[in-house]
Structure 1
Amino acid sequence: MSGLPLIQPENATGEAAALLEEVQQALGLTPNLAKAMANSPAALKGFLDLRRALRGGGLPVPVQESIALLVAQHTGCDYGLSWHTYTGTRLAGLSRHQAHRARRGEAEDPFTEAALSLTRSLMHHRGALTDAELAAARGSGLSGAQITEVVAHVALNILTTYFGRTARVCVDWPLVRHDETRA
């Protein structure tokens, strides 16, 4: 079954055209996910606004990318794994080994490990953390703001997974599959 149409930047009009141009300027390309999301400029704008706001938050970009990798692995989203392996290793400074470990919810540094542990708990319980899990996140050094941002990153990456699957978006990054086991 075919998915949602991809709105090509050269054929877009109005707000969709402006948003796709913003994506092109930010990334140097216009990914299929953005082209599909441009079917609703409101949805694309909301996605870009949340992504931009979180990029300016208190979590370092490598931690943000590690969270995205874990969510993509957990949800079996090859698009997200491909996108965030590319951006994590090419733009955020993760090594291939760190990216692979993030997919398993592991990290070398305690701060990233704490963020990934919280991400695992959020994914496992669909957001319903136990008191012990919330206390563990606080006890591991995550501030209230950082806990809030981890939750927001999980939600953002679930949005991209659900949308990508619904739209049947073809992977336009170097392909990484969720069932790969190589480091």
Structure 2
Amino acid sequence: MARVAIPTKEQAPAKAQPILANYEKVLGTIPNFFALISQSPDALKAIADMHGTLGKSLGHGTRERIHIAVAEANGCDYCVSAHTYLGGKLSGLTQEDMELNRDGHSNDPKADAAVQFAHRVAKTRGHIDAGDFEAVRAAGFSDAEIIDIVAELGFSFVTNLFNNTFKTDIDSVFPVIHTKSKPTA
């Protein structure tokens, strides 16, 4: 159970309601994560802006793969559940691929390089070696796209922190997936 109340769109502050309405329009539902943070309209706007702006160069499928890999690395059940749902529904990712994503891989060769890189950056908190960087570059990612991978990973970290801290309830439309292990304090 969430540590704070998850308001409905109507219970959310007026400043947050249009943002929630947009998520409802695009996704057909308002994910509990966005409803929870709507209690701070400024936080909701910042996260919604980041969410809507990032990752276009990577494509939706690679974005979802990165989110799944990072959620697994950070032990975020909510995000691994949400992005598995979104990866399948909106990006057409297979269950097999999404399971590989949880271990930092993909069955798509180019996406595999991005997911491996994102997973490594997440696990080391950015303390990677030159070989990690060169591998993603050798797979065909430009410097701008590598920056986008790290930015997307940063967005994932933010959502993972919120959902782990507040124990956000997994939405009923998402499959309930538990991460394989939780990071230790």
TM-score w.r.t. structure 2 length?
0.90
User: One-letter code of the match for 1:178?
Assistant: T
Identical positions, percent: 30
C-alpha contact 1:34 1:44 (8 A) present in aligned 2 = yes
* CA–CA separation in structure 2 for the residues paired with 1:30 and 1:80: 14
The CA deviation at 1:12 is: 2.5
1:15 paired with 2:15, answer: yes
SS in structure 1 opposite 2:16?
helix
Number of matched residues? 179
Higher helix fraction (1 or 2): 1
* CA–CA separation in structure 2 for the residues paired with 1:133 and 1:99: 22
1:65 paired with 2:31, answer: no
1:138-173 deviation line (CA, Å, top 9, x unaligned): 222111111011101111111111001222211112
1:107 paired with 2:101, answer: no
* CA–CA separation in structure 1 for the residues paired with 2:78 and 2:26: 19
Q: Which residue of 2 aligns with 1:148?
A: 147
Within 5 Å, which residues of 2 pair with 1:1-80? Answer: 3-55=3-55, 57-80=56-79
Return closer, same or farther for 1:2/1:171 CA change in 2, 3 Å cut-off.
Answer: closer
User: One-letter code of the match for 2:34?
Assistant: A
The CA deviation at 1:123 is: 1.2
Runs of at least 5 residues in structure 1 that lack an aligned partner in the other structure: none
TM-score w.r.t. structure 1 length?
0.91
The CA deviation at 1:59 is: 0.4
Q: Which residue of 1 aligns with 2:136?
A: 137
Runs of 4+ in 1 over 6 A off after TM superposition: none
User: One-letter code of the match for 1:74?
Assistant: A
C-alpha contact 2:77 2:178 (8 A) present in aligned 1 = yes
RMSD of aligned alpha carbons: 1.7
